[in-house]
Structure 1
Amino acid sequence: MSGLLSVPATVSLRRAHHPMRRRGVTYGPEGETHARHHPPPRLRARHPHRGHLAESSVGSPGTEGRHAAHRMLRAWLHTLRDRLTVDVAAHFAAQLPDLLRGAYYDGWDPSTAPVKYDREGYVNRFVQEAKVTAEEVPRIAPAVTGVVREHVSPGHLEAALEQLPHDIQALILQPTG
């Protein structure tokens, strides 16, 4: 049987177990170790820091600041979502990180979208959901817009905001000082 490679019966064709390698651990190209249930650092998704909103100009540090910041973010997401058509709302949601997407869709009834309201209606809805005063909305809404902008692909926020009336756009996009 010339041409055929003969392999002794004592040699296994499977990869031999290396005595220095441990089970449940993967080894990177440079020999670094990683537990199998955790991806290597270079492959791990980048998640926004939990306290990011509380540390921004939206809320103050601490537990109550975090809760207030999340309430304001949620109010911002819901007031935007409710004013958009279903298609635009879904397209915008697809750009959001999972945590924000969950807050965005929470309690949404697409059969009622879009809800038509002007600047005053926007402020009233924001005040009711965020539990802030109407005087605070011109400061808070643009700050939240800046935070959301950091978490979506360039141009997607602007595409969604183009669907809003100009007076609401002006409120949401005004510079924070």
Structure 2
Amino acid sequence: MVDTGFSSFDTMVDKANHVLKEIEDAYGWPKDRRKQSYGALRAVLHPLRDRLTVDESAQFGAQLPTLLRGIYYEGWKPSETPLKMSKEEFFTRVRQGFPYAIEGDTEQLARTVLKALQQHVSKGEWDDLKATFPASLAAILP
């Protein structure tokens, strides 16, 4: 538990740390690899956001924990979305955004992050996300 002296901030940090810990646990990474779990989260969130329509991106982002929402929207250019990309192009963007060695492959990394995120988004929104993606990309969503 983080103690910033302001309970709302403590909750935001704890929720973000919980998601990062889920990614670390899935890979068996120790806590000192927090930069890697953050890098994985960021590397998956950005191409995900960029593939969605502006409306769907905003609806998905609204359900993310507050600090993750900031990471999600960082550098976003709504006028340039949605970016059409194949499954391979999606994974290329994820890999380019993740500067660390990967245990497994990029698809496993993306699936791990998406599984951690799924717990923080309503089932209805997750179903909308799957319906919005082309079939090849929807298949990677847990």
**Does the alignment reach a TM-score above 0.5?**
yes
Rounded to whole Å, the distance in 1 between the matches of 2:94 and 2:122 is 24
Shift of 1:161: 2.7
The within-5 A match list for 1:120-139 is 120-131=88-99, 132=101, 136-139=105-108
Report whether the alignment pairs 1:82 with 2:56. Answer: no
Q: Which has the larger radius of gyration?
A: 1
SS of aligned partner of 1:68 = helix
What is the aligned partner in structure 2 of residue 162 from structure 1?
Answer: 131
Aligned length: 132
Aligned counterpart for 1:109 among listed residues 73, 77, 93? 77
Q: Which runs of 5+ in 2 are unaligned?
A: none
SS of aligned partner of 2:110 = helix
Report whether the alignment pairs 1:153 with 2:122. Answer: yes
- Aligned residue type for 1:110: P
- Aligned residue type for 2:110: A
Structure with the largest fraction of helix: 2
Shift of 1:58: 4.3
Shift of 1:49: 6.4
What is the aligned partner in structure 2 of residue 52 from structure 1?
Answer: 21
CA RMSD of aligned residues (A): 2.5
Q: Contact 1:58 / 1:144 at 8 angstroms: preserved in 2?
A: no
The within-5 A match list for 1:3-42 is none
| TM-score of the pair, normalised by structure 2 | 0.80
Q: Contact 1:75 / 1:130 at 8 angstroms: preserved in 2?
A: yes
| TM-score of the pair, normalised by structure 1 | 0.65
Q: Which runs of 5+ in 1 are unaligned?
A: 1-36
Q: Percent identity?
A: 35
What is the aligned partner in structure 2 of residue 30 from structure 1?
Answer: none
Q: Deviations over 1:111-136 (max 9, x none)?
A: 10000010111011010002356x61
Q: Indicate the structure whose relative CO is greater, using CA pairs within 8 Å and at least 6 residues apart.
A: 2
- Aligned residue type for 2:89: G
